[in-house]
Structure 1
Amino acid sequence: MHVVVTIQHPGHVHFFRHPIEELQSRGHEVHVFARESDVAIALLEAYDIDHEVLAGESGSLLSLAAVQATYEMRLLARARRIEPDVITAIGGVAAAHVASILGTKSVVFYDTEHATLITKLAYPFADVICTPSCYRTEIGPAQQRYPGYHELAYLHPDRFEPDPTVLEDVGLEPDDRFALVRLSSWEASHDVGHGGFDDPREVIDRLEAAGCSVLLTVEGEPPADLASYQFTTSPERMHDLLAVADVVVSEGATTAAEAAVLGTPAIYVNPATLGYTAELENEYGLLFGFNGQDRHTRALDRLDSVLEEPADTWTRHRERLLEDRIDVTAFVVRQLETIAGPQASNRSASATNPSES
């Protein structure tokens, strides 16, 4: 079959990396189209994924509509020539629209309930919408639930083994205690009106007082007094760091969830609660979410108690999670092959018997 994969965020590269490889190994043709966003293109290049960039990065919410329109028009032109059997994406606004116009199938993966603009634009046009079983919204007959998280498409132990030598890249020793702190830019369409920590400086001071070195990663420019905490490593090695950290403190849900499924406790500070962050907290005790006006203070208090827990606490919690949850890459491949099956069979028959087409 012919598959089109669309990439509009670094997380999309991680999610589709192994399905792309698996599909190609099974004889399918995969065409990857991307929009520049943070380090998405750098990741595609690092993983040696053949791709075409269709649009640049948007500098603001106002420019996002224009960039998205450009991206969709160019995607439509490319897909018209390819005649794909299925188009797939995370979120899937462009993928669902283009597939609908061309009369091909679309499979959308999503896990963010409060991103209502994206869901309103994509869901009505998508043939299949795959969500984690903990997703809080009932979508209708197009919805396919699965027992997993996006992060288990690339961080399941069948797909990922941490490389602790990443510590050399950031100037740490194997015995050093350290925390990774992730601050968000709050510029995404679903982040409007939201915020995280009151004072990131206080977070770092608390971690250092507990004996942790601090590695800081920030969307955009960091506060001037925190710039010295930023670190440099290749983007594809971020998950190695998350796996060997003592704790991850994040305003972003994806980073917090990645840490959690790797067995690293995550402090998540964000007004938005999601089905998967709630499940990682309530069912597995690997993530601790905080919202509301006192979220900053309560998160710092919880941080102290997390650092006092023995490391095998988190190992046991992760083992239980992995017993319950699936390798999501296998699910992705199965969904795409299932929905594209009839169209791909027709394509094959037409190629074999052109007089009958």
Structure 2
Amino acid sequence: MRIIFYLHHPAQFHLFKNIIKKTQLDNEVLVIATKKDILLNLLDDEKIDYVNILPEGRNNNLLSIALGLLKQDVRLWRICRKFKPDLLVGTSTEITHIGKLMGIKSLFFIEDDIDVVPILNYLAHPFADRIITPVVCKLGKWEKKGVKYHGYQKLSYLHPNVFQPDYQIVQKYNLKEKYFILRLSNLGAHHDVNAKGISEDVLDKIIKKLRVKGQVLISSEGFLDEKYSEYKLKIDPLDIHHILSYCSLFIGDSQSMAVESAILGTPNIRVSSFVNRISVLEELEHNYNLTFGIKPDNEIGLLEKIDEIVSNDNNEIIYKQRKQKLLSEKINVNDFILWYITNFPKSDLEFKSKSDFQNKFIQND
């Protein structure tokens, strides 16, 4: 089978990196990527060959995004004419457009509810053949296209059968025994319009509170003021999940890293206007107590939650138990996605015909 994987965000690299490598063993695979944050660096580091479909890049304004989308549609169409794929896989709207235009099946992966990213109602979902998503995600009128699995995208690369944290990687950066990671997103994506996260004033108060307890590290997507330079997290991007695994507390306005922290069993607080809106995070919070959401204007609640977590000496035991409960109820997403892609369309028929089919992908530590 000839398969195109289309990536345009670092999170998608992690989602598909193991799957791409295994799929390449028995199939012809072409990886397409765009220059987004550190995505191309990650692909280079993992020695995964790719085609950069938008080397000129784009800005985050709506006009640039629209023009970029049009360019990528045209370029993907040209690539498909030459490569002649049987299947288009990814999280980008382009695969659904060109798939529908050229009669190529498209598998569109998403982990957001349709009301959180409503633009997909118009740009992607109408054209996708299948929408692969966690069971808890809401697809609205597109539910019939859904292939809903018992898990989360981040489990595809953080399930213990795939990933084991290595403390030696932490040691090579000379981090203190107790350290805290603060993540600042640039909130520039199309679905982040009017979104709010951690303000500078609140950030200063968090740092003041935590630096007497351990080492404070800041990871920032955008510009970081010079006054925070001593806290800047300087690591190889491929090591981030090892660093996150041994972190005493993660605080950020990144939804993705909050999910990753939860799956790794790392205490975490997300500060975002998206709190109470994203089904995956709501399940992780209310079913498993593996994350806590605080609205940006609730400064007192945030500082109190920080005190509560940092003062608990039993966090390692508590969060390990919560993580084990999660793993016992979720599937090995990496194995499931690999099976579904490489056996499509037979896999689609089998998945729909057996209600308990996913149970075979449950694998505990």
Give the alignment partner of residue 334 of structure 1, picking from 322, 335, 339. 339
1:113-171 residue CA offsets vs partner (Å, 9 max, x unmatched) = 21222343000000000111111333221111111001001000111111212223433
- Aligned twin of 2:163: 160
Give the alignment partner of residue 293 of structure 1, picking from 293, 297, 306. 297
Pair 1:110-2:113 in alignment: no
**Aligned mates of 1:83, 1:137 — CA distance in 2:** 30
Give unmatched runs, 5+ long, in structure 2: 348-365
**Aligned mates of 2:342, 2:87 — CA distance in 1:** 9
**Aligned mates of 2:41, 2:334 — CA distance in 1:** 22
SS in 2 for 1:289: strand
- Whether contact under 8 Å (1:169, 1:233) holds in the other structure is no
Pair 1:260-2:262 in alignment: yes
- Aligned twin of 1:141: 144
- CA change 1:195–1:48 in 2 (3 A) is same
- Whether contact under 8 Å (1:257, 1:266) holds in the other structure is no
Q: CA deviation at 1:40?
A: 0.3
Normalising to structure 1: TM-score of the pair?
0.90
Q: CA deviation at 1:87?
A: 0.2
Pair 1:191-2:195 in alignment: no
- Aligned twin of 1:54: 53
- Aligned twin of 2:75: 74
Pair 1:234-2:236 in alignment: yes
**Aligned mates of 1:203, 1:292 — CA distance in 2:** 13
**Aligned mates of 1:170, 1:236 — CA distance in 2:** 13
- Aligned twin of 2:14: 14
1:162-188 residue CA offsets vs partner (Å, 9 max, x unmatched) = 121222343314xx1111110110111
Answer 1 or 2: higher relative contact order, Cα 8 Å, separation at least 6.
1
Normalising to structure 2: TM-score of the pair?
0.88
Opposite residue 205 of structure 1, the aligned amino acid is K
- Report 1:122-141 matches (<5 A): 122-138=124-140, 139-141=142-144
- Aligned twin of 1:323: 328
- Aligned twin of 2:350: none
Pair 1:29-2:33 in alignment: no
- Aligned twin of 2:96: 96
* Count of aligned pairs: 336
State which drifts further: 273-282 or 136-145.
136-145
- CA change 1:331–1:222 in 2 (3 A) is same
Give unmatched runs, 5+ long, in structure 1: 343-357
